Structure 1
Amino acid sequence: MANKTILVVDDEPKITEVVKSYLEKGGYRAVCACDGREALALFERFRPALVVLDLMLPGLPGEQVCREIRAKSRTPVIMLTAKAAEEDALAGLGLGADDYVTKPFSPRLLIAKIQTVLRRAANEVVPLSDELVFDGGRLVVDSARHEVRKDGSRVPLTPNE
């Protein structure tokens, strides 16, 4: 994993300190924010591999931070919050969170969840385009249509080709 930066967003300094300490022991770089606006600024600046996000933040709430991250990125988000009701967890996951952890929490379990989400994200298969384009567009292989075009004209091929 090339990027080992984790953005930790929580308005409780003790929580960010504990999470940061455990992340650093695990070989990660932790960048911390205490409000939603700072979180978005640090997200743009550091492009973290994952975001640990509290929901009840001053200024911009965590739900809005998650929406804005999701609008421009597939970066994994783990919500870490005191909102323990099932409806809150379902809403958080519905916003695009990859996991939902309630406070009080086990720092060791949180780190294990971070590692799991990052491992899944690293193994995620991104669908390839149906078309392979060569020579500045002069040659196109279209796997969806099972055809090859050269200079815009279809090239006749046998079924095996």
Structure 2
Amino acid sequence: MRIGVYPGTFDPITLGHIDIIKRGAQIVDKLVIGVTTNPSKSPMFSVEERLSMVRREVAALGSDIGVVDFDSLLMDFAEREGAKIIIRGLRAVADFEYEYQMAGMNQQLNDRIETVFLMADVCLQPIASRLVKEIARYGGAIDKFVTPAVAADVKSHLAAAH
């Protein structure tokens, strides 16, 4: 069985993430979405909230997709899950430079696990969770970038913060 992991903060999960999940699930027998906290980011949602959000959004995509949290090196997480593939989404050249460097470092840590890059759909390439949160904080509409349920989650979270 070919297992792949798709790691990220998913804060919040966007239509771009969902596109990569759907396409990534087609190239592996089982896809494990790893929800983590990046110390360099300030998450809007807790890990538990993000896990719940991602599970809800991928529930209809099939039983071959799992969602778990992790707080370790990506390569340790991938090995623990039995993965042979790490799936990463790319939006722009800036993403590629960062992801290329990370893939090289990961290969040095464990050369038995391959990194596969998937380009986001052209219409979804500009979407970034960071920008979605910024637009929402200033009262802008985010429904072009996230599902209706995620838009409601963000709106509810922001309302509770005030």
Greater strand content: 1
Greater helix content: 2
TM-score, normalising length: structure 2: 0.33
TM-score, normalising length: structure 1: 0.33
Higher relative contact order (CA 8 A, sep 6+): 2
